[in-house]
Structure 1
Amino acid sequence: MKKSLLPILLILLVSAVTAQKSEWYKGNLHTHSYWSDGDEFPEMIMQWYKDHDYQFVALSDHNIIAEGDKWKAISPDSLYQNAFKNYINKYGDDWTKFEKNSDGLKVKLKTLSEFRPLFEEPEQFMIFKAEEVTSYLDDKAVHMGAINIEHVIEPKEGATIVELIQNNLDAIKAQEKEIGQPVLQHLNHPNFTYAITAEDIKQLNGERFFEVFNGHPYVNNYGDSIHDSTETMWDKVNIAYHAMGKPLLLGIATDDSHHYHKFESKWSNAGRGWVEVRSRELSPNAIINALEAGDFYASTGIELSKLEFNGNELSIGIKSEEGINYEIQFIGVRKGSTKSEILKSTTTTNASFTIPEDVLFVRAKIISDKKKKNPYKVGDTEVAWTQPVSKK
């Protein structure tokens, strides 16, 4: 009897270890298609991301989900007419419904439920149902990602930027409660139209994520002489959040991809920014739970071989490339200070930082001298950001 139980116990032990093992998954949480103001069919976009070793993508068109009937008029420009021919050649006449007359070419877009089965594979690739909730106050644009939703969230209004953001944030959270599954909400490109300041974000209740990097050319990631960069905003907000006892704001990198046929810095192309998430599996709930736990980093190209925090020490390892130089900066805020500073810097590819008692929180920024291909700004090099952590 005891001998017969041994193999079963071994199987259970192996299964338990396997279940607890985590993997890194690469994903883009901000993607546009012909369903709103992107310039490509969603099938072609998903194929690009899958071919480029992404494991998940959120299709986040403006105030719409890829559901129902939508016909898209294709530009008469030969670039887009040829792109349509490529689409037909790839998926065939049976897949595509279109009309061509004196008014031009119109194509009926495929829904998420129709094209999802073409791409999704367990532990290989997953598509989030998502929306970019898009609203305005006068000439100020407020865009918010809502990831893993079930139905469209209508944009809310507000008398001030703070009220407008809070109303939309509350609407996203209300759907999360309604559908009974985690929904990731992130504040997009705060410096787009310079609509949102650190002071605005400080006043919000429940804001956990924002885009520290967005690949669209008009979003002003680096600020200007009178506006903070998104990184500076990040630390300013977290000084306030720490003082108020709120969870620290976490930073993601995204493409905000719109343009799939013209390539240079003045276009919003795919492949500029993403997140690497450590999760027990590739599923919507698991990925969002890992993001909410801060178990991820944002990147424009750098990969990490090690990212650990034991409650006291933050440790970083880089998957280094031959001939490329790196710098690891541990950036934090000392008690009583109103700004962040570089607390430690090293040009090694492995480094650790023990948080002293007088430091509120620390994050790491990893910088390389490798030029980014098709960058957000000409001259950009590849960078990665870890999430801020506090001493426990």
Structure 2
Amino acid sequence: MFDLPFDRPGRFWRGNLHTHSDQSDGAWPPEKVARHYREAGYDFLALTDHFRAEYGFPLTDTRALRTSDFTTLLGAELHAPITEIGSSWHIVAVGLPLGFRPPVPGESGPELARRARAAGAFIGMAHPAASLLTLADAESLDAAHAIEVYNALAAREDRGDSWHLTDVLLSRGHRLSTYAADDAHFQPQDPPGCAAWVQVRAESLVPEALVSALKAGHYYASTGPELHDVRVDDGWITVRCSPVRKVLITGGTPGLQVVEGKDLSEGTLPVTMFAGGYCRVTVEDASGGRAWTNPIRLEPRAPVSIEA
């Protein structure tokens, strides 16, 4: 699992890891996409156009769009046949080098992901629920650093949330971090961009620092609330955040710990001995927006009881 990032050096930088432009099937040119996120208060953006033959295998070069207070990460959404149910893999690769070679005939999704990871990329399973990934599919993608637990574009089809598969993988011992993304294409029928993002803890806005922090799991994901601090101490977990109506702790066993109220900005809950030795924190605000920590490593200990 992952160490909490809140007391690490540096600060949080807001960014989107899964975005498309007119270099593949998006509606806007890269310049307009970057300006949209920069003006919305984002610190960085990964343009991940579909790395397919029909688009000329684009690895969109966004280096010229970087400014002193906004940067871009080079990446792509990689594809290869075939999953158990779907016709193609969807794999987010952020931090790819220019010149990354297109898939060769017969190269599988897991093989392509391994090659991208070896080239230095942060690898994510894109929208598993929308792609109908099975457990066997997910376990075969052994190069993945992370799983896309929320995809705002897929939410319009009621398949935006992929936490069920994620918790099964975590309970089986897979070490995966968890990110949210809007998968924006800016087509007229699509939900607006800037609907889901990550907050990455790093010492600078240098692309290499951001990619390293992503690989280490030093970030949290959100569709609205801010997490200011989360810490585990002597069997209790304390959460400080922007005002929310609910703070939840879940883990590898059915059930949860929850505190609810109006305009909560802090919650302290006991950490029981979740199966698999991990838990995660979710907060939910009054409008239904959520923020999620990465899976938190728990030391083996006896369950903590609550006295009435």
Q: What TM-score, normalized to structure 2?
A: 0.81
Q: C-alpha displacement at 1:255, in angstroms? A: 1.2
Q: How does 1:94-133 map to 2 (within 5 A)?
A: 112-113=62-63, 115-116=64-65, 119-121=66-68, 124-133=69-78
Q: C-alpha displacement at 1:167, in angstroms? A: 1.3
Alignment partner of 1:149 is 2:96: yes
Q: Which amino acid aligns with 1:43?
A: E
Counterpart CA distance in 1 for 2:191 and 2:222 is 17
Compared CA separation, residues 291 and 66, structure 1 to 2 (3 A): closer
Counterpart for residue 124 of structure 2: 186
Alignment partner of 1:236 is 2:168: yes
Q: C-alpha displacement at 1:310, in angstroms? A: 6.1
Counterpart CA distance in 1 for 2:81 and 2:157 is 18
Counterpart for residue 265 of structure 2: 349
Q: C-alpha displacement at 1:295, in angstroms? A: 1.9
Compared CA separation, residues 314 and 387, structure 1 to 2 (3 A): farther
Counterpart for residue 298 of structure 1: 221
Q: Residue 170 of structure 2 contacts residue 252 of structure 2 at CA under 8 Å; is this kept in 1?
A: no
Q: Residue 257 of structure 2 contacts residue 270 of structure 2 at CA under 8 Å; is this kept in 1?
A: no
Counterpart for residue 142 of structure 2: 205
Counterpart CA distance in 2 for 1:302 and 1:287 is 21
Between structure 1 and structure 2, the one with the greater Rg is: 1
How many pairs are equivalent? 281
Q: C-alpha displacement at 1:41, in angstroms? A: 1.1
Q: C-alpha displacement at 1:66, in angstroms? A: 4.9
Q: Deviation digits for residues 228-247 of structure 1, max 9, x if unmatched?
A: x5111111110112xxxx42
Q: Deviation digits for residues 5-51 of structure 1, max 9, x if unmatched?
A: xxxxxxxxxxxxxxx74111000011111111101111111111000
Q: Residue 65 of structure 1 contacts residue 129 of structure 1 at CA under 8 Å; is this kept in 2?
A: no
Q: Residue 308 of structure 1 contacts residue 315 of structure 1 at CA under 8 Å; is this kept in 2?
A: yes
Q: C-alpha displacement at 1:157, in angstroms? A: 6.5
Alignment partner of 1:267 is 2:190: yes
Counterpart for residue 388 of structure 1: 295
Counterpart for residue 116 of structure 2: 172
Counterpart CA distance in 1 for 2:143 and 2:131 is 23
SS at match of 1:282: coil
Query: Larger helix proportion, structure 1 or 2?
Result: 1
Q: How does 1:297-376 map to 2 (within 5 A)?
A: 297-309=220-232, 313-320=236-243, 325-334=244-253, 340-347=254-261, 348-357=264-273, 359=275, 360-370=277-287
Q: What root-mean-square deviation, in Å, do the aligned CA atoms of Structure 1 and Structure 2 show?
A: 2.6
Larger displacement relative to structure 2 (37-46 or 291-300): 291-300
Seq. identity, %: 23
Q: Residue 59 of structure 2 contacts residue 76 of structure 2 at CA under 8 Å; is this kept in 1?
A: no
Q: Residue 130 of structure 2 contacts residue 154 of structure 2 at CA under 8 Å; is this kept in 1?
A: no
Counterpart for residue 46 of structure 2: 58
Counterpart CA distance in 2 for 1:40 and 1:50 is 15
Compared CA separation, residues 65 and 312, structure 1 to 2 (3 A): farther
Q: C-alpha displacement at 1:284, in angstroms? A: 1.8
Counterpart CA distance in 1 for 2:40 and 2:201 is 19
Is there any run of 5+ residues in structure 2 with no aligned partner, and where?
1-7, 52-56, 300-308
Compared CA separation, residues 135 and 382, structure 1 to 2 (3 A): same
Counterpart for residue 14 of structure 2: 26
SS at match of 2:12: strand
